[in-house]
Amino acid sequence: MKKIQTFLTLFSLFFLLGGCVNKTYSQQERIFLVFKTSSIKYADLGFMYEGEEDLKIEMYSNGQALKALKISQTSICLSLFECLDKKTFNQKVLSEYYPHDILSHILRGDKIFSSQNLLNEKNGFSQKISNIGKYEIDYRVLDNKIIFRDTLNAITIKVKRLK
């Protein structure tokens, strides 16, 4: 009986403390990030941490950590205190007409808008996507560079993976 009680206590403790462990990321890269919208303007070095479901970017200026951008399955957080669900983030920062998971796809270099207008190229791919009055997107993932431009909404996101 004592062994069962000890086992249950240890199992419960392990289970409770397991929730306090920081997320682990499978990939870490140094990047140069340009993020320009009507509400955010940033261009400098940073680190991108990728997990299976989460993505985190720590942004630096002059060697000092400025902000962190964390993207989970349901929300996007800028620094520690400002978290929004993806739809609200798009409405406030990007465009209300974008799919809710577009930012994660862009930062990872994945295809957007269900691979609409996809053109495979020798060293990557490109997409030109437009919807009159809503967006005019030119998106390229070539070599170690990701470039997303929406000329209608004045949005530019560039990621260059540094070695």
Confirm if 61 and 74 have CB atoms less than 8 A apart.
no
Reported as half-sphere exposure (CB side, CA atoms, 13 A), residue 163 has a value of: 3
What pLDDT is attached to residue 128? 98
Q: Is residue 14 assigned to a domain?
A: no
Helix (H/G/I), strand (E/B), else coil: 108: helix
What pLDDT is attached to residue 18? 40
Confirm if 95 and 150 have CB atoms less than 8 A apart.
yes
What pLDDT is attached to residue 14? 41
Helix (H/G/I), strand (E/B), else coil: 12: helix
Helix (H/G/I), strand (E/B), else coil: 122: coil
Local confidence pLDDT in tens for the 163 residues of the chain: 554 454 444 444 344 334 434 556 667 899 999 999 998 888 989 999 998 889 999 987 777 777 889 999 999 998 766 899 999 999 999 999 999 999 999 999 999 999 999 999 999 999 999 999 999 999 999 998 999 999 999 999 999 999 8
What pLDDT is attached to residue 66? 76
Name the domain count of the chain: 1
Token pair in block for residue 98: 């974008």
What pLDDT is attached to residue 81? 66
Q: Is residue 42 assigned to a domain?
A: yes
Q: Is residue 130 assigned to a domain?
A: yes
Residue 160: beta bridge partners?
A: 32, 145
CATH number of domain containing 113: 2.50.20
Could you list the residue range(s) of the whole structural domain that residue 36 is in? 21-162
What pLDDT is attached to residue 8? 40
Contacts of 36 (CB under 8 A, 6+ apart): 42, 43, 154, 155, 156, 157
Confirm if 42 and 34 have CB atoms less than 8 A apart.
yes
Q: Is residue 25 assigned to a domain?
A: yes
What pLDDT is attached to residue 10? 41
What pLDDT is attached to residue 20? 39
What pLDDT is attached to residue 56? 94
